[in-house]
Amino acid sequence: MNKTSVTIISKKIIAKETIELTFHAEGYVNQISPGQFIHINVGNGSSNLLRRPISIADVDVDSQIVTIIFKIVGVGTDQLSRTEVGDKLDILLPCGSGYPINQLELDRALIIGGGIGVPPLYYLAKQLNKQGVAVTAVIGFQSKDYVFYESKFKELGNCHVVTDDGSYGFKGFVTDLLNDTPIDYDYFFSCGPTGMLKAVSTQLKNRNGYISIEQRMGCGVGACYACVVPTNDGTNGFKKICKDGPVFQANEVVLV
């Protein structure tokens, strides 16, 4: 994990309230595995002391460029949305443990993303695709206005878009689509709101898979115990989301 100051090289509104930023992170990108996050100082003097965790959505190793995607939901992401090309960002990276894809034997992967849980799955899908894995993505959003990266996922394999209100693609939740549509896969990989992760883990409880979860963070480095989640093995154990996670085996931890 490193602390560095990066310069924003592009900024794009890719969906409603959803912003894509890219920056150079020379020398750091080779360490990044899909599922890891960066921990961002959103600035504003000492008003906002806690950094904000945002997943790494894409990495271009050749150009050493990192992409993040975030939704404006509060003061920190609002502030982040006001940064402009050329502005500096003070970040920690890479943080946490990503999807252990190098240790897995798989030919077909199912990606299940919801809302701002979709970004880390894009870099994952890209890496899987590079390794010759067949990727099917199921990505859910509130409504049509919030949909992003459909075509990017389509470049990598199959992609089903689901919206809560049916304003685009399949109407319902990602789990409804999974019920309706037979998909072959060896492992699933999911990230999204806790409710979705619970539904997915329950529905796919007999399958191998990984999920990525969120919690409010203090340090982001594993020192403060703000982000713990109980393990599911009956030992009263726990994991730190910022350090041991955010990626866990499905059913390894208790979703609260």
Partner 1 sequence: MTLLTRIPGLTLKNPIMPASGCFGFGREYSELFDLNKLGAIIIKAATLESRYGNQTPRVAETSSGMLNAIGLQNPGVEAIIDNEVSFLANYDLPIIANVAGSTVEEYVAVTKAFTRTANIDAIELNISCPNVKEGGIQFGTDPTLAAEVTASVKQASKVPVYVKLSPNVSNITTMARAVESAGADGLSMINTLTGMQINLNSRRPLLANKTGGLSGPAIKPVAIRMIYEVRQQTSIPIIGMGGIMTAEDVLEFLLAGANAVAVGTANFHNPFVCPEIIEALPEVLAKYGFSSVEQAVGKGHEYGHKDLSRT
Ligand X SMILES: Cc1cc2nc3c(=O)[nH]c(=O)nc-3n(C[C@H](O)[C@H](O)[C@H](O)COP(=O)(O)O)c2cc1C
Q: Is 46 a residue that touches its own copies (CB under 8 A)?
A: yes
Q: Could you tell me the smallest distance in angstroms from the CB atom of residue 217 to ligand FAD?
A: 6
Q: Is 58 a residue that touches ligand FAD (CB under 6 A)?
A: no
**Nearest one of 83, 87, 107, 106 to 24, comparing CA atoms:** 87
Q: Which pair of tokens denotes residue 211?
A: 């999920």
Size of the site for partner 1 (CB under 8 A): 47
Amino acid at 100: P
Helices and strands in the chain: count of H runs, count of E runs: 5, 16
Bridge-based pairing state of the strands 58-60 and 65-71: antiparallel
Q: Please choose which of its own copies, ligand X, ligand FAD, none residue 47 contacts, taking the beta carbon within 5 to 8 angstroms, the exact cut-off set by kind.
A: its own copies
**Nearest one of 132, 148, 145, 154 to 67, comparing CA atoms:** 148
Binding-site member from 9, 16, 48, 218 for its own copies (CB under 8 A): 48
When the beta carbons of 42 and 185 are compared against ligand FAD, the nearer one is: 42
Which range, of 9-17, 56-64, 67-75, 223-231, touches ligand FES by CB under 6 A?
223-231
Q: Please choose which of ligand FAD, ligand X, partner 1, none residue 77 contacts, taking the beta carbon within 5 to 8 angstroms, the exact cut-off set by kind.
A: ligand FAD
Binding-site member from 114, 120, 169, 209 for partner 1 (CB under 8 A): 114
When the beta carbons of 150 and 186 are compared against partner 1, the nearer one is: 150
Sign of CA dihedral 193, 35, 240, 2: negative
When the beta carbons of 50 and 104 are compared against ligand FAD, the nearer one is: 50
**Nearest one of 85, 6, 78, 96 to 42, comparing CA atoms:** 78
Q: Could you tell me the smallest distance in angstroms from the CB atom of residue 67 to ligand FAD?
A: 10
Q: Is 208 a residue that touches its own copies (CB under 8 A)?
A: no
Residues 173-212 that bind partner 1 (CB under 8 A): 192-196
When the beta carbons of 76 and 119 are compared against ligand X, the nearer one is: 76
Q: Cα 227 to chain center, whole Å?
A: 17
CA–CA separation, 126 and 189 (whole Å)? 13
CA–CA separation, 248 and 256 (whole Å)? 14
